[in-house]
Amino acid sequence: MAEDLQPQSHVGKSFPIKPKLKPKARTLSQTPESKYWSSFKPHQIPNLVSSIHSLDYSPNPPHLFAAAHSASLTLFSSKTLSQHSVINSFKDVVSCSSFRSDGSLLAAADVSGLVQVFDVKTRTPLRRLRSHARPVRFVKYPFLDKLHLVSGGDDGVVKYWDVAGESVVSNLLGHKDYVRCGDCSPVNAEMFVTGSYDHTVKLWDVRVENSRSVMEVNHGKPIEDVMFLPSGGLLATAGGNSLKIWDLIGGGKMVYSMENHNKTVTSICVGRVGKDGGEEAMQYRILSVALDGYMKVFDYGKMKVTHSMRFPAPLMSVAFSPDCMTRVVGSSNGIIFAGRRKKKENEESAVGNFWSLGRVEEPRKPTLRPTNYRYFQRGQSEKPKEWDYVVARPKKVKLGEHDKLLKKFRHKEALVSVLNGKNPENVVAVMEELVVRRKLLKCVSNLDNEELGLLLGFMQKYSTVPRYSGLLMGLMKKVLEMRAEDIKSSDALKGHIRNLKRSIEEEIRIQQSLQEMQGIISPLLRIAGRG
């Protein structure tokens, strides 16, 4: 108690000199979430024929993903990000594809109005579903349902298919414009939503008799993509440059509207973030891509954009692998921007241990005897246990050579030693310390020619750096004044001065051009301010 109340004494301490602190960057790349999203190592898959309309992951490991581009559907391995196989049996541009919940079948729709079901392994078309009169834009397997399909197209009709019989179970009418997208509920096999260019999203339930929509929400813009959020109670719609979150259980109320994109949002998907088993284990995020080339990560819990990434092309589609290891973004010029995280070995080994049966008998260590050299060293490198109270050794203050010299009041030696070092910050810090001790000019006058050359070289390099110029410009003037005689008599020093002159002239030129620029900009700013 009494010790806590005691003011700690500052007696007998010595402080090493420290360079001035640098301002910390206030960019967002520092957050753990940004770190997570940047940890996807970028990888480009180029040379696909044209715009990638759709990307879909297989729900089964090893999580193949299908990219629909032009008149073909390419399957990629998500491990190596290399091409796995190509399905070419399309007559027209493929618009959409969907894996079945077990990953063995794949449904794909094309612009000719045909929906085909393929075996993923053999790539043979098993069923052809022909009923749409106009291009089909959306096809999807319902949740945990292996027998049915939902599709929608430019004829404005949403069809619920019986796949085995290649027949339409019900035609769901209601959209007044092209149906472009849709999603099936992640909690219910009978419910799904579709989005259309008539600005509305309709919620359908196939159990309802009269084939009317159960609910509809109006986004206000032609809808490009619609998606259930993992809870099944929320809906995300993308249209125009906005992304909106809707509460279905609450009767179709809009929860939030995110308008961070500059151009049309083309595709959205659900991503997950966070470490496995941590406190923030696996939180869901919405990934949205837009024609402006940005992918944004939206945290719909905090209603905040937590990360944003720029790609050099308009983006058309996005997908995030179920194992959280890869994310792929499709662009309009046929490039897939994939990203893959590094796998941690320990995760796998942990899983391995979990499955291994019984305990593996560990080989017993032989007890150490005094005959062994290690006997005498035992315990020396022991790591403290978690519960151990560690008596920390008092931290030793690290003193640089210049610090030691400054402590001995050998000022000139300190300056020279730090000039020989590589760190300009330290040099300036030592100079500042010398200023405080009123010894800098004395030091300068004591430098011999070689050391003066060192100082001039340093000044030539750094005197125009804005952080140091305040001190160095003043010092340079003084140095030139004080040591004019020595400089005149030495060729080497003259050379330094010439270099110095050149760098100063260059700086002046830069300043002049900056001023010109400022002259151009400031009236504009004035006008903008007035408006």
Partner 1 sequence: MIRGGRSYVSSLPAFSNDAKRLLVCTANTVSIFSTSTALQISSLEGHTAPVTTVIVEPASSPANNILCYCWTASLDGTIRYWDFSVPELLKTINMKLPIHSMVIPSLLGQPADSNEKQFSLFAYVSLEGTRGTNSKKHKSKPKLLHGQVCKCNLTESRLVGGVTLAETKVPEPITISSSGKFFGIRKRHKLSIWKVPDTESERVVLRKITLHHTKRMTVIAFHPTERTVAAGDVTGRILIWRGFGDKTFASGDGLAGGKMISNDEEGPGVRNDDDADSCTTWHWHPSEVNLLFFSSDGAYLYSGGKEGVLVVWQLDTGKKKFLPRIGSPLLYFTVSPDPSLSSISCADNQIHLLKMPSMEILKSISGIKLPCSLPEEYEGFGSGVAFDLSSALVALRTENYCIQFYSLFDDRGISEVQGCERNHQPGDDVTVVVTLVALSQDGSMMSTVEVKLAEEGIGGLVCLKFWASESQNKKFSLSTIIYEPHRDAGISAVAFHPTRRVAVSSSYGGDFKVWVCNDELEQKDVMLQSSGWTCHAVGSYKKKAMTAAAFSADGSILAVAAETVITLWDPEKNVLIAVIGETLMPIVTLSFVGKSEYLVAASWGSKPQLSVWNLSKLSLSWSYMLRVEAVACAADLSLFAALALLPESSKCQESIGTTFQGRDGVILLFNATDPVPVATWSARKAKGGTLAFLQVNPSSIEENISDGKPPQTLLAYMNGDHEYVLFDPYGEETHELNVIPPKDLVDPEEIGQFGYASIYGELPEFELKRNQTLWVPSVPSEKPWETLFSGSSHNLPPLTKLCSAFLESLLEKRTAVVE
Q: Where along the sequence are the contacts to partner 1 (CB under 8 A)? A: 2, 4-15, 18, 20-21, 24, 26, 28, 30-31, 304, 306, 431-432, 435-438, 440-441, 470-471, 474-475, 478
Q: Which is nearer to partner 1, 127 or 404 (CB)?
A: 404
213 within 8 A of 196, measured Cβ to Cβ:
no
Q: Which is nearer to partner 1, 292 or 433 (CB)?
A: 433
**Sign of the four-CA dihedral 236, 239, 244, 248:** negative
CB of 34 to partner 1, least distance (A): 9
CB of 21 to partner 1, least distance (A): 6
CB of 279 to partner 1, least distance (A): 17
Q: Which is nearer to partner 1, 139 or 243 (CB)?
A: 243
Q: Which is nearer to partner 1, 335 or 431 (CB)?
A: 431
290 within 8 A of 310, measured Cβ to Cβ:
no
- Strand (E) or helix (H) holding 148: strand 148-153
- Please provide the DSSP assignment of 242-300 as one string: EEEEEETTTTSEEEEEE---SS-EEEEEEEEES-TTSTT--EEEEEEEETTSEEEEEET
Q: Which is nearer to partner 1, 18 or 275 (CB)?
A: 18
Q: Which is nearer to partner 1, 116 or 242 (CB)?
A: 242
DSSP assignment letter at 198: T
CB of 477 to partner 1, least distance (A): 9
Q: Which is nearer to partner 1, 338 or 459 (CB)?
A: 459
- Please provide the DSSP assignment of 3-67 as one string: HHHSPPP-TT------PPPPPPP--GGGSHHHHHHHTSEEEEE---SS-EEEEEE-SSTT--EEE
Instruction: Assign 3-state DSSP to the chain and report helix, strand, coil percentages, each to 5.
Output: 25, 30, 40
CB of 441 to partner 1, least distance (A): 6
CB of 272 to partner 1, least distance (A): 20
The per-residue b/e assignment along 154-168, b for 16 or more CB within 10 angstroms, e otherwise, is bbbbbbbbebeeeeb
CB of 13 to partner 1, least distance (A): 7
Q: Which is nearer to partner 1, 13 or 365 (CB)?
A: 13
Count of Cβ atoms closer than 10 Å to residue 446 Cβ: 14
Type of residue found at 492: A
Q: Name the nearest CA neighbour of 307 among 317, 297, 315, 299.
A: 297
Q: Which is nearer to partner 1, 33 or 110 (CB)?
A: 33
50 within 8 A of 334, measured Cβ to Cβ:
yes
CB of 479 to partner 1, least distance (A): 10
**What is the distance between the alpha carbons of residues 64 and 85, in angstroms, rounded to a whole number?**
10
CB of 31 to partner 1, least distance (A): 6
123 within 8 A of 153, measured Cβ to Cβ:
no
DSSP assignment letter at 380: T
Tokens 């619609």, residue? 226
